[in-house]
Chain A
Amino acid sequence: MISFNLIPLLPEIYLSLAAMGLLLLGVFRGNESSSVISWACVMAAGIAALLLLWMPPERMIVLDGMITMDRFSVFMKYLVLAGVAAAIILSIEYMEREKAARFEYPVLVLLAGAGMMIMLSASNLLAVYMGLELQSLSLYVLTAFRRDSVHAAEAGLKYFILGALSSGMLLFGISLIYGFTGSIDFGLIHSSLSKFAEIPAGAIVGLVFILAGTAFKISAAPFHMWTPDVYQGAPTAVTALLAMAPKVAAIGLLMRLLLGPFEPAAFQWQQIIWFLSAASMITGAFAAMMQSDIKRLMAYSSIGHMGYALIGLAAFSQAGAGAVCLYMLIYVIMGAGAFAVILCLRRDGRSCQRIEDLSGLSRTHPLLAYAMAILMFSMAGIPPLAGFFGKLAIFQSAMTAGLYGLAILGVLTSVVAAYYYLRIVKVMFFEEPTVASLDRGMPLARGLILILCLVFVTGFILAPSSIMATAQNAAAALFPE
């Protein structure tokens, strides 16, 4: 008999029950209650994080191998929950001002969060797919949430069609792997593959399809085409969510897949990840230079960041995996801060998103300008800010693994990428305000998020070792001896 030990699943179960309960509340109370429901959803994410705290530290595999709970999934789930909570908090005031506040919004975000958490602890390809679909379906709807806006509808449709295509590729890869190994269980796939000195073609083709499907979800080049359009068209609050939590979930899933069942095929997937990483860094650096829309710029910036994160994975070492965990932590926090600033870009009650709208910000809103400047410096990887340490750990792991080409390419593209981050700083500080000043006032919760992010980004240097040790500790769970 299989044991139904549901303890490792408690956070997910709690999150989905909370989503359903709050949905009922919303149905009865109507859209006026949407801000109450939003805060309740933030609280639900907080309680789920507390439940994670209560998880035993050792690895648990339950439900007949469907679910694995270890320190890695706990670490990544914290990041996902933080991203989800931050996205909901950032959205409350924005959605109200845009007159798009509906109680379904936070509920869908919670359901997407549950899907991401399932992705992170799945250890069966079927469970992986289910989590992925729960996440993606909720995100498609959220992207098109402002259905009266042509841009949002177009973004939603693009995201949906390309997402469905990538899910199809993923499923095709899974079917090939099943045909080859006769199993969709991570442990059985691993033991089947490790019997070969040289991995046969069937498994490699399956692996390539699975990688293509997941590379779409993390928007690594050359599967990044959807990212700028979707980021630009979606409501800014949704863009903030898209830039944080799903990336963490997808990269966590990729790490678990490649370092778990496909670990025997490391020689093969290392080449693919090498290519994805190099292509993403180059695309992220060069394509972002021509952008005039700040959300498109953030899209290319996130493509570039994914490229850096993939370097750590290509290193195929515990230090590399730890560097990816650390990088994702810093990435989520910088993203939350940057979007808190971007959400403030409103003029005469309408949101604006062009880079020239930032011109002269240092004179009209000095605090906001300095906050954005710090975040941009951190994203560019300028010491002593947090972004520098993330990149440092990644490049160190690449050098120890002998990936000199990737490390050099990474440094070069960071220099190129610094150009467009610094361009924003230049526009804010050295250009005359060409257009009317932005609206004043920032909601308290958004300001609090921004301050927390700034404290982390600037204060990281004070205690880098403890945070790095936590990330390394999480990654160690992926390398069982």
Chain B
Amino acid sequence: MIVQALAFYLFAGVLLASALMVITARNPVHSVLFLILSFFSAAALFVLLGAEFVGLILVIVYVGAVAVLFLFVVMMLDIDFAHLRKGAMQYVPVGIAVAAVLLGELGMLYLSWNAAPDALLNRGAPGALLAGPTNTERLGQLLYTHYAFPFQVAGLILLAAMIGAIVLTHRTRPGVRRQSVATQHARQARDVLEIRKVETGKGAV
């Protein structure tokens, strides 16, 4: 138990510290690297909770795909983040004030928190059907039975997002040379090749 608690505090501490560094680091590349560290710590927290599938998915999807993409974007686009941040500094006091009020309210809520008496019973409800030793298997069973509908709608949302990304960014540019395999194959030697007889001593005109 004590090892688990120590591990929790270790990963949670690293997670908070690296999340703070993400928004305060001057160099955007460092920000992305700290973001990756915070993803790893969050994944470790999931594993501690016994949700190893979610933890591994977090690493694969967020670190493997999303963060690397971020890194590419940050390195490819030359954005002066320091300049962007300059104007934002004047809103920091207001932001901190709002956040402090919200934090205070949530703190009071936490102190007076008592869940409904049947909360534990309710929470068990969708899991009653579950069988299977690993939580990958259990998640799969839940996703394709109880949550089949939201799962399918999530697919539709991704479709809408994809259409949106294409609509908003794709343009047909005029004057781009494209390879046309059919035209290339249809080319005959006589269309493009001309053999001239050059007289000796005169040179080609």
Identify whether the interface residues of B are mostly helix, strand, loop, or mixed: helix
Chain B positions within 8 Å of A124 at CB level: 150
Q: How far is the CB of A201 from chain B (nearest CB, A)?
A: 5
Q: Which of A9, A66, A144, A195 contacts B150 (CB 8 A)?
A: A66
A141 to B178, CA, bound (A): 29
CB-nearest residue of chain B relative to A141? B164
Tell whether, in the assembled complex, residue B116 and residue A108 are in contact, meaning their CB atoms are under 8 Å apart. Answer: no
Task: Name the residue of chain A whose CB is nearest to the CB of B155.
Answer: A16
Q: Does B189 contact A (CB under 8 A)?
A: no
CB distance B156 to A114 under 8 Å?
yes
B contact residues around A179 at 8 Å (CB)? 115, 119
Q: List which A189-222 residues lie within 8 A (CB) of chain B.
A: 191-193, 195-196, 200-203, 205
Q: Which of A9, A63, A134, A145 contacts B156 (CB 8 A)?
A: A134
> What CA separation (Å) do A20 and B152 show in the bound complex?
14
Q: Which chain B residues (133-177) contact chain A, with CB distance < 8 Å?
A: 145-150, 153-154, 156-157, 159-161, 163-164, 166-168
Task: Write the chain A residue with the least CB distance to B154.
Answer: A130
Give the distance to chain B from A68, nearest Cβ to Cβ, in Å: 12
- B109 touching A205, Cβ below 8 Å: yes
Q: Is B118 an interface residue (CB 8 A)?
A: yes
B36-44, B120-128, B197-205: which one contacts chain A?
B120-128
Q: Does A147 touch B at the CB level, under 8 Å?
A: yes
Nearest chain-B residue to A191 (Cβ)? Answer: B118
Contact A202 B146 (CB under 8 A): no
Q: How many residues of B contact A (CB 8 A)?
A: 34
- A181-B116, A181-B122, A202-B114 known; A16 vs B156 contact (CB < 8 Å): yes
Cα distance A182–B147 in the bound complex, in angstroms: 16
In the complex, whether B117 has a CB less than 8 A from a CB of chain A is yes
* B91 on interface, CB distance cutoff 8 Å: no
Complex alpha-carbon distance, A475 and B179, angstroms: 62
- Report the separation of the CA atoms of residues A111 and B120 in the bound assembly, to the nearest whole angstrom: 37
Q: Tell me the minimal C-beta distance from B63 to chain A in angstroms.
A: 23
Instruction: Answer whether residue B184 sits at the interface, using C-beta atoms and an 8 A cutoff.
Output: no
Report the nearest A residue to B111, measured CB to CB.
Answer: A201
Residue of B nearest to A140 (CB): B164
A94-108: contact bitstring with B at CB < 8 Å (1 yes, 0 no)? 000000001010011
Of chain A, the residue at the smallest CB distance from B165 is A141
**Are B125 and A108 interface neighbours, CB within 8 A?**
no
Whether B121 pairs with A182 at a CB distance below 8 angstroms is: yes
Contact check, B114 vs A182: say whether CB atoms are below 8 A apart.
no
Answer whether A144 and B168 are a contact pair too, CB < 8 Å, given A2-B145, A108-B160, A137-B161: yes
A141 touches B163 (CB 8 A): yes
B90 located at the interface, meaning its Cβ lies under 8 Å from any Cβ of chain A in the complex? no
What residue of chain A has the Cβ atom nearest to residue B120's Cβ?
A182
Given contacts A185-B122, A188-B125, A192-B122, 7 further A-B contacts (CB under 8 A): A64-B145, A104-B163, A104-B167, A126-B150, A140-B164, A182-B119, A191-B118
A sample of 29 inter-chain contacts (CB < 8 A) reads A64-B145, A66-B150, A67-B149, A104-B166, A108-B160, A108-B167, A111-B159, A118-B153, A130-B150, A133-B157, A141-B160, A144-B168, A179-B115, A181-B122, A182-B118, A182-B119, A182-B122, A182-B123, A183-B122, A185-B122, A185-B125, A191-B118, A192-B118, A192-B119, A196-B116, A201-B113, A202-B113, A202-B115, A203-B116
Closest 4 CB pairs of A and B: A182-B119, A141-B164, A182-B122, A182-B123
